[in-house]
Amino acid sequence: MLFRPNPGSGVPIYIQLMEQVRHAVETGALREGEQLPGIRKVAEDLVINPNTVAKAYRELEHEGVVELRQGAGAFIAANGAGKAQLDRMRKAAALIENAIEKLTVMGLTEEEIRRLFESRLTHSRNQ
């Protein structure tokens, strides 16, 4: 199964779904032109609201990773727009991983790191 969200992670399910699609594209598990599972099927399999899956697919379309075709479903985009976004996300993930390693060495727990990131995001949005 492509999607394996963790409801207890504190990360919204739709974001987890997006990250899993991006990861599958990055690793080659999903290739350009491949169809993603239908919204209803994913929602039923994961016992989640179909709107959650639809939101993830729409956001991925906005990023250029997925192409939504009316009546046909969601497909991995065959253009370079999504690739540029994925490259940025890959670089950003490396920065975050480095920061997490350093914070862990400093003795911060996973929960403390999560709260710190969330507070900094909120702070930066409010400036």
List the chain pLDDT tens, one digit each, 127 residues.
789 999 888 899 999 999 999 888 877 788 889 999 999 999 999 999 999 999 999 999 998 889 999 889 999 988 644 566 667 777 888 899 999 999 999 999 999 999 999 998 888 877 7
Q: How many CB atoms lie within 10 A of CB 112?
A: 13
* Burial of residue 30, with CB atoms counted within 10 A of its CB: 0-12 exposed, 13-18 middle, 19 or more buried: buried
pLDDT the model gives residue 87: 72
Please tell me the distance from the alpha carbon of residue 49 to that of residue 44, in angstroms, as a whole number: 8
Nearest to 65 by CA among 97, 17, 3: 17
Question: Maximum CA pair distance of the chain?
Answer: 52
Please tell me the distance from the alpha carbon of residue 33 to that of residue 68, in angstroms, as a whole number: 11
pLDDT the model gives residue 91: 82
Please report which helix (H) or strand (E) contains residue 73, including its range. strand 73-76
Per-residue burial over 68-100, b = 16 or more CB atoms within 10 Å of its CB, e = otherwise: eeeeebbbbbeeeebeebbeebeeeeeeeeeee
Q: In the block, which residue shows the tokens 């999607």? A: 3
Model pTM score? 0.63
Q: In the block, which residue shows the tokens 């192409």? A: 67
